[in-house]
Chain A
Amino acid sequence: DVKVTQSSRYLVKRTGEKVFLECVQDMDHENMFWYRQDPGLGLRLIYFSYDVKMKEKGDIPEGYSVSREKKERFSLILESASTNQTSMYLCASSLARLSGGSYEQYFGPGTRLTVT
């Protein structure tokens, strides 16, 4: 079974702090994703990576950065946390998507981040 783990289930940080959320997958997947999920808005893509050291902006990258130094690990960084970044953060991974094809995404358990 594919396993995607996230470093914390719950996290409370203060405004202005630098926050690291880590995600690790154990199935040698090329693609990794960071989403945030908010009531009434659904899942929105922050950043994704299709290879080591590669990253692409998603729909809402502002205020976030990412790092992928190893294939199995994808980190989301909040450089200076703000209250509007309070949310559920979900990581996912998948095999590389061939042109015209698609692969299932596997999700981690989520990190509920509260910024006070």
Chain B
Amino acid sequence: KNEVEQSPQNLTAQEGEFITINCSYSVGISALHWLQQHPGGGIVSLFMLSSGKKKHGRLIATINIQEKHSSLHITASHPRDSAVYICAVYGGSQGNLIFGKGTKLSVKP
């Protein structure tokens, strides 16, 4: 079983829709990251959180430490939000980041 599971793997939405991407993990963590990767490869860190909720613009990230679960929400989605969203947690044998396989989001106009 993967230590970091994301769902769904692929997601297609219409512009304006509310989007939720989920991340479940099985390792103990000090922090969880949400990353965004646009076509072309570059990865940008969106959030790093260890409890509660963080908001940046139309993006909201929540984490429930007891349930080992995090969600990334996008409100009023836009075609420019189309990207791969990756969840990552600190864990593993060397305490480094363990990545989920990513969720590919496509927002249609």
By a beta-carbon cutoff of 8 Å, the part of chain A in contact with chain B is 33, 40-45, 48, 56, 58-59, 88, 90, 92, 97, 100-102, 104-110, 112
CA distance A112 to B31 in the complex (A): 29
Count of chain B residues with a beta carbon within 8 Å of a chain A beta carbon:
24
Q: List 28 A-B contacts (CB under 8 A).
A: A33-B96, A40-B101, A42-B101, A43-B99, A45-B96, A45-B97, A48-B96, A56-B94, A90-B43, A92-B43, A101-B30, A101-B31, A102-B30, A102-B90, A104-B33, A104-B48, A105-B33, A105-B45, A105-B97, A107-B35, A107-B44, A107-B45, A108-B42, A109-B40, A109-B41, A110-B40, A110-B41, A110-B43
A58-B96 contact, Cβ under 8 Å, with A40-B101, A100-B30, A102-B90: yes
CA distance A104 to B44 in the complex (A): 10
Check A102 against B101 for contact (C-beta < 8 Å): no
Q: Write the B45-73 contact mask toward A (1 if CB under 8 angstroms, else 0).
A: 10010100000000000000000000000
